[in-house]
Amino acid sequence: MYASGQLGINPQTGEMNDDFTCLNEIYGSYFKSGKPARSCIQVAGLPKGAKVEIEFIAEK
């Protein structure tokens, strides 16, 4: 999980995860009862051709 305004770039490969369905499954596995609020807003011009930036606050 990458947070704090970072793009979801794998540090080992430099590749970005653009499979939102997969991302949601992994995200959901961290929170068994209820999910924290989050926002997902599509914008233009993110680095490395990113399609979305996701902002969230979570406590585990």
Number of structural domains found in the chain: 1
Summarised one tens digit per residue, pLDDT across range 11-59 is 888 887 777 788 788 888 888 787 777 776 666 777 788 777 777 777 7
Domain that holds residue 12: 1-60
How far apart are alpha carbons 34 and 30 in whole angstroms?
10
What pLDDT is recorded for position 34? 77
pTM of the model: 0.43
Look up residue 47 and give its DSSP letter: G
Q: What's the CA gap between 31 and 11, in Å, rounded?
A: 24
